[in-house]
Structure 1
Amino acid sequence: MKKLLIGLLVLFLLYVIAIALVPPYIESDRNQTKILPPYTVSAEAQTIYDDLEFIADLHCDALLWGRDLTEKGDRGHVDFPRMREANVALEMFTIVSKSPSGQNMQKNSAETMDVITPLTIVKGESPFNWFSLVNRTLSQSGDLEDFIEEEEGKAILVKSKSDLNQLIEARKSDKNVIGGMLGIEGAHALEGDILNVDRVYEAGVRMIGPTHFFDNKLGGSAHGESGEGLTDFGKSVIKRMNDLGIFIDLAHSSPAIVEDVLDMTTQPVIVSHTGVRAVLDSQRNLSDHQIQRIAENGGIIGIAFFDAAVGEPEIPNIIASIKHVRDLVGIEHVALGSDYDGAVVVPFDITGLPIIVEGMLQEGFTLDEIKAVMGENVKNFLLKNLK
């Protein structure tokens, strides 16, 4: 018995050490930054950036890694202090609940080993989260709510138009007030149960992508095996999302799902983080036809910052992608969708966003166009479409 107790104690101590060391190591390896802060741009670009009233980003996976977002981190791309340093008003914090081993842009199986399960365990999360995707999702939702509560009024969880208006009004007198929204990356998190749409809505989720890197019960992924459109279950989920006021995020969806959603949705859609095929011809990126249909729907498209979405060198290709959407369908349909902390290497962290302003200035964007891309489009889209 004594040996058993000693063995259990040793295992417990090893687990505690793993919790302290492994998640930071994994995140540092997966969420790298090519150019480290501080960042320098021209005086003109910095002045324009500093005067921006509303800066917003449509996609960040920071909740996955177990960091305290109220503290400034020495790894990753986003936390609350860095949002304030960058004058960012609103971040869409997206929840990743499952990801396949060997994840790639071409073809992934839903049956491949899930790499989020061991991460969930080694982060020290509740055993109730270890093998339940919806529990992981609700847990990350609760984490953001807890972080925001710790801010004692200096952060707002945006779930409604009223919340957004509160954020806008608060920032008129205090730019340190920031906002966060919740999204889900891949509706496999619903575990095939339509009732879970309501559960995540009650937890604050206001955006869901039908698929992520693999096919699920809603239909096919852009990187899956079937290429199929919405299943009957998928159509019921889309309808329920419309009824509740949850935005549909078409990032990572198969072309067939994109068409099916646009054929049936009663609400404008979001593509939270993507590239465009005119700049990088990849199956994860939007074709001109898709961009046009999304614009006709009144939707908004967030341009991602990493090489697999925009190609290399990233910075001029980010600007080229923004410019392509503007020229094809109008400036009002394009926004920032970084994919910060999404297991990607990005050129700069959130404090480097003035580099985007510099790039747009160099390409002849007007001041109004710069304001639109940096956040006014997101603000206007949400004011129009949030319930």
Structure 2
Amino acid sequence: MIDMHCDVLLKLWEDSSKTFEDDDLHISYNKWMESPVQVQYFAIFVPPEIDSDYFQATLDMVDLFHRKIIEPYSNIKWVQSKEDIEALKPHEKGAMLTLEGCHVIGEDLVKLRTLLRLGVKAVGLTWNTVNAVSGTCVEQVDQGLTEFGKRVVETINEYDAFVDCSHLSPAGIDDVLKLAEKPMISHSNAKSVYHHDRNISDDHLKQFFAKKAPVGVTFVPYFTQSDRATIDDLMAHVDHMYQLGGRDSIAFGSDFDGVTETIDHLHDITDVHHVITALKDRYELADVYRMTYDNAIRLLDS
């Protein structure tokens, strides 16, 4: 499987004594090695409420990615392309850098270009708080991309990276679908299955599916069901997306280490095999392959 979103870097940044060996992480070295996840996307997420400089914190997380995840382990490879991922050996894991929230660049495209040059392959335009790029799914939901936001998308296009619409306002998603060469959703569920601000409408899902753009079903329980969420509840989102035409788009973005609650029997990365089993119970193996692997990377180098 490929997991398109986690917040391990935030955990490592918040506590400088923590290492990737710490098994209180949802995704630690040992847990990852025991899991069926071959490629893990590591998001740079800087909490907007911090007092320190956003961009310095962003660079610190890039440094942590290399010092604590890539460099200590010969079997973890920094991947930046489909070719890199396909070159992984059976015992190797791939790690990719992404960004969650353009508040870290302010109104400075130099900062964005710097991150893209440092290997960030997907850029989430917003978190939950409004920034210079757009409104969000919970603040100024009718605000689409600003003029600066449109320049941000154009810059991401130039670097052949994905524009991630998780957390974005519906109006912003409309704009991205018009402007982005590679739109994606890293970690959101279907709003018509469970109505939550962070989930995506059927109308928008169908537009992503028409582009065969990746849409990451997320393991966040409170985006999945109002009560105690189960893997069957998660599968309801997968089934709905599949029925909408998402066969060539459905992927997964766990949000592990970004949540305090988890879905039953899906408590950390070692439990991902339960998701794969549930998929195999419902779908042909070719479709399981698409959803767990191919849909996430098909457009990576196109």
TM-score norm. by structure 1 comes to: 0.72
Letter in structure 1 aligned against 2:33: R
Is the counterpart of residue 378 in structure 1 residue 266 in structure 2? no
Please give the residue correspondences for 1:228-377 in structure 2 after superposition, counting only pairs within 5 Å: 228-265=143-180, 267-311=181-225, 312-347=228-263, 348-362=267-281, 364-377=282-295
Render the CA deviation track for 1:17-50: whole Å, top value 9, x for unaligned.
Answer: xxxxxxxxxxxxxxxxxxxxxxxxxxxxxxxxxx
The residue type equivalent to 1:245 in the other structure is D
**How big is the shift at 1:306?**
1.5
Alignment RMSD: 1.6
Q: Does 1:178 align with 2:124?
A: no
**Letter in structure 1 aligned against 2:285:** L
Post-superposition offset of 1:78: 0.5
1:163-216 deviation digits (Å, cap 9, x = unpaired): x42442332xxx221111111111101122111111111222111111101111
Give the 3 Å change call, closer, same or farther, for CA 83–63 of structure 1 in structure 2: same
Q: 3-state DSSP class of the match of 1:170?
A: coil
Whether contact under 8 Å (1:215, 1:226) holds in the other structure is no
Question: Equivalent residue for 1:127?
Answer: none
Structure whose CA Rg is larger: 1
Q: Deviations along 1:256-285, whole A, 9 cap, x unmatched?
A: 0000111122x1211000010121011211
Task: Tell me the residue number matched to 1:155.
Answer: 76
Q: State which drifts further: 373-382 or 352-361.
A: 373-382
CA contact (8 A) 1:219 1:257 kept: yes
Q: Which runs of 5+ in 1 are unaligned?
A: 1-54, 100-113, 118-129
Equivalent residues of 2:26, 2:257 under 8 A apart: yes
Q: 2:58: which partner in 1?
A: 137
**In 1: Cα distance, 2:101 partner to 2:229 partner:** 28
Matched residue type, 1:57: D
8 A Cα contact 1:241 1:248, kept in partner: yes
Separation of aligned partners in 1, 2:187 and 2:57:
22
What is the identity, as a one-letter code, of the residue corresponding to 1:310? Answer: T
Q: Secondary structure of 1:245's partner?
A: coil
Matching residue's letter, 1:151: Y
Aligned to 2:115: 200
SS at match of 1:381: coil
For 2:192 and 2:124, the matched residues in 1 are separated by 23
Aligned length: 291
Higher relative contact order (CA 8 A, sep 6+): 1
In 2, Cα distance between equivalents of 1:225 and 1:261: 16
In 2, the alpha carbon distance for the partners of 1:284 and 1:166 equals 31
Q: Deviations over 1:216-244 (max 9, x none)?
A: 10010101145300001101111001001
Distance in 1 (CA, whole Å) between partners of 2:141 and 2:275 is 37
Q: CA deviation at 1:80?
A: 2.7
Matches of 1:82 and 1:332, distance apart in 2 = 29
Aligned-pair identity (%): 25
Once the two structures are superposed, what CA deviation does each residue of 1:305-345 show, in whole Å capped at 9, x if it has no partner? 12221114231121111111111113111011111111341
Partner Cα separation in structure 2 for residue 231 and residue 289 of structure 1: 22
Cα distance in 1 for residues equivalent to 2:260 and 2:102: 21
Structure 1 93/339 Cα, relative in aligned 2: closer, same or farther at 3 Å?
Answer: same
- Distance in 1 separating the partners of 2:5 and 2:235: 17
List per-residue Cα deviations over 1:335-374 (Å, max 9, x = no partner). Answer: 1111111134122210001111222234x21111222222
Question: Which structure dedicates a bigger proportion of its chain to helix?
Answer: 1
Other structure's SS at 1:260 match: helix
Q: Partners in 1 of 2:242 and 2:193 — Cα distance?
A: 13
Does the 8 Å CA contact 2:46/2:58 hold for their aligned counterparts?
Answer: yes
Verify the 8 A CA contact 2:214 2:250 in the aligned structure 1: yes
